[in-house]
Amino acid sequence: LSELFVSFSDKSWMHTPEALAKHYIPYNVKFLGNTEVEAPKGTEVVKDAVRKLKFQRHIKKSEGQKTPKVELQISIYGVKILDSKTKDVQHNCQLHRISFCADDKTDKRIFTFICKDSESNKHLCFVFDSEKCAEEITLTIGQAFDLAYKKFLESGGKDVETRKQIGTLQKRIQELESENSELKQQLQDLEEQLMIAHEPPAGSVSTKPLSTDVFDMVPFSPVTPLVPTVASNGLIIIIFVSPPPPSRWAELPFDPFTCGSADFPPDIQSKLDEMQEGFKMGLTLGGAVFALDPLDSRC
């Protein structure tokens, strides 16, 4: 911390201490990316990183990809990198983890800093295109270091531990926010799937399943006449016949069951009684086609 502070000691600061201590200074820049470096500081180290990331960005640009725009928020607690539209935090580089900061004297748009990653403990070099204000951003970071160093001396080092705890909590908050967004998306997907599952297909018609019940398949109607027929072998066959239209009722054959009482010869009366018994059995068994043997005692 002190080494980096010394490199800015001969510069005049641009912002009030309150702006960096109680708030932050925002800058809109283009983010070329970050890459791992072997050393925590050094001009040649960042030059190699800038060349590498510029080359990668040139390839992506030839493929039609634009350089992403981000917002930098610089304060005495660190440098935050946010998406310029959604304001989502992409990186939160705590100030005590930044070991080197510099702007490119040959290209006034480029500035960079090296930060030690809190998870992997690797040194990462971040490179930005700042539209010709690279030196101003570098000085702002230097002023934040100056104020943070003074505060460190005043607190006797206790403030560093507090900032570490705050940084840990901020990181955990970011993780929870990311998990919350993922769970919301999963819930929305499940709700959409549930709605689709309950919607009938377009043009579909609800139909009643076909019944296998014999009474549903061949309904009995009291107006459906029974035509008894005596076969040559003596069997009586009872068949359901669909009634004719009303216009042909006058042509219906004589039916002894629908006529009034009358006297018949004994042999005819015996046959009629047998036919009547068969008719009753036909009603009991559901009205299909039956062959009845009047001489069979089981009928």
Mean pLDDT (whole number) for 257-270? 61
User: Is residue 214 pLDDT above 60, yes or no?
Assistant: no
Mean pLDDT (whole number) for 197-214? 59
**SS3 at position 146:** helix
Mean pLDDT (whole number) for 285-295? 46
Least confident of 69-73, 114-118, 140-144, 233-237: 233-237
For the chain, the average pLDDT equals 75
Going by pLDDT thresholds of 50, 70 and 90, the confidence category of residue 9 is very low
Model confidence, pTM: 0.51
Neighbours of 57 (CB within 10 A): 19
